[in-house]
Amino acid sequence: MTISSDLQYFPAISFFNDLIKSTHIVFYSSDLLPKQSFANRTIIAGANGCLTLTIPLTGGRHGKKPVGLARIHSKENWQIRHWRSLYSAYNRSPWFSFYAPGLERIYQQPFEHLKDWNIACLDWACRQLNWLGKIELLDNEGELKMLPEPIRDLRGKIRPGNYQEQEAPQYQQVFEEKWGFLPNLSILDLLFCQGKWARSYLDT
């Protein structure tokens, strides 16, 4: 099955519930970048509850632009801040030390365009989950005619305003005793907490 979705920054767990049931996922660089989306943000579990990590974009949030043209504000040290936040939140989690070396290398690479960063994040997460499907970024929906099968369109399904309402598995989290279970966070939360068993939570 082929699905289409929004390009997201380390997507929520429910995103991967759909992804692992597919063999091919496509994104469209011509889609307009919504003001409220996970295109440039991801949500993790921090010591004070849910913590949103946001990537600064050139031009801010004023005016819609195609996803393929969205540029990262390179003068801000957002990668350093985000990595420090991840370290602070998860350095005591069971699997952080296992994933940290490879993941830190992504945060040390320069990225000019948001689409390239999001594809790099998705590719890394898929490899950890042993999802061997195809990831493809198309210029526009017109290219869909060349694909061999119908596409399930999931664009707009997961948003900052409804992500906690999406179906996602429950598991032991780092700060669960303090805040209770925080549903449908970034896939990083599941990986740091469950490691090589993360895929089995998505298969259920």
Q: What is the pLDDT of residues 151-165, one digit of tens each?
A: 899 999 999 999 999
Q: Please tell me the least confidently modeled range out of 81-85, 88-92, 131-135, 145-149.
A: 145-149
- Give the range of the structural domain holding residue 85, as residue numbers without chain letter: 2-203
Domain count, the chain: 1
CA 151 to chain centre: 21
3-state helix, strand, coil split of the chain in percent (to 5) is 40, 20, 45
Amino acid letter, residue 127: R
Q: Which of 33, 70, 71, 68 is nearest to 140 (CA)?
A: 68
Query: What mean pLDDT is reported for the chain?
Result: 93
Q: How do residues 35-82 score in pLDDT, each as one tens digit?
A: 889 999 999 999 999 999 999 999 765 557 899 999 999 888 999 999
Helix pair 96-107, 187-194: axis angle to 10 deg: 140
Six-digit token string for 4? 């289409």
**Average pLDDT value for residue range 71-97:** 95
